[in-house]
Homo-oligomer: A and B are copies of this chain.
């Protein structure tokens, strides 16, 4: 329990993971964000050091969680030149939680080894509430030895480890995550079409959702997003922009593997369209704005953010 823990990227996910580990008695020594005020606020809340630079994070932590947006952000914080998490990184362990292209993880693992550091993927298939409660579904990829060294920390994020799966070498967790989200996005976009058609036919959507839940139409996203689609409550758990990105990663893998994926392609096009028309910040349930009659011409009234 003595390791100094750092967080890079303390948006809604990262901040809640940091809070959770703090609650569990860990030493959250340092936090950083590319929005300095965000980092300073969280640092005040947790009694951590608000690092002004990436090198400053490395100087203050042994185990560093990175919870950034995408491949580009990841390449920025692990740059080969300038301010970088590789500065003075010898012996450090990086746990990378963003959904990235699998190749980025394998590249990173290679560069880390050269810098004398270690990396682990911890891809998350859950959202903000779960981060706060320590009930994230974690898919772990990387060197098993590294995994064993920090497992005692990760279990506190994943319901005593009940929700954690070691899936293989570096890049494997990112593949798994991309697959999960590809299928989730298909189910979400498909549900939005079903409910929109039901609505247009004048069926009662409460009854429709109840019937769906009892039949072959049942799915996790029906439970998490069905009512939100009906009520146009698209406050963000998992944004349409992220959905578009993750389906895009999966489809790039599919193209490379020569797998025909027309349904995933159609779902990806829907989430990409949301981004294109300025709805990318809505929750993925917002895909219903593209399918329901009379919606989508304007943004729905801003609902307050869920925590």
With A180-B211, A267-B263, A291-B261 already in contact, the answer to whether A250 and B197 are too (CB < 8 A) is: yes
Residue tally, chain A, CB below 8 Å to B: 64
Which of A126, A214, A215 has most B Cβ within 10 Å?
Answer: A215
Complex Cα distance, B183 from A198, in Å, reads: 11
Complex Cα distance, B184 from A212, in Å, reads: 9
The residue from B175, B260, B261 contacting A201, defined by CB atoms under 8 A apart = B175
Pair A262/B266 contact, Cβ less than 8 Å = yes
Complex Cα distance, B183 from A196, in Å, reads: 12
Pair B216/A224 contact, Cβ less than 8 Å = yes
Residues of B within 8 A of A187 (CB): 186-187, 190, 216-217, 219
Pair B167/A197 contact, Cβ less than 8 Å = no
Pair A216/B208 contact, Cβ less than 8 Å = no
Pair A267/B190 contact, Cβ less than 8 Å = yes
1/0 contact trace for A258-291 toward B, CB 8 Å? 1111111111011000000000000000000011
Pair A290/B260 contact, Cβ less than 8 Å = yes
Pair A218/B220 contact, Cβ less than 8 Å = yes
With A214-B137, A218-B219, A263-B263 already in contact, the answer to whether A176 and B203 are too (CB < 8 A) is: yes
Residues of B within 8 A of A200 (CB): 254, 257-259
Complex Cα distance, B177 from A242, in Å, reads: 32
Pair A186/B253 contact, Cβ less than 8 Å = no
Chain A residues numbered 181-208 whose CB sits less than 8 Å from any CB in chain B: 181-184, 186-187, 189-191, 193-194, 196-198, 200-201, 203, 207-208
Complex Cα distance, B197 from A211, in Å, reads: 31
Chain A residues numbered 50-85 whose CB sits less than 8 Å from any CB in chain B: none
11 contacts between A and B (CB under 8 A): A179-B203, A179-B208, A180-B212, A180-B217, A182-B190, A187-B216, A193-B262, A219-B219, A219-B220, A257-B293, A262-B266
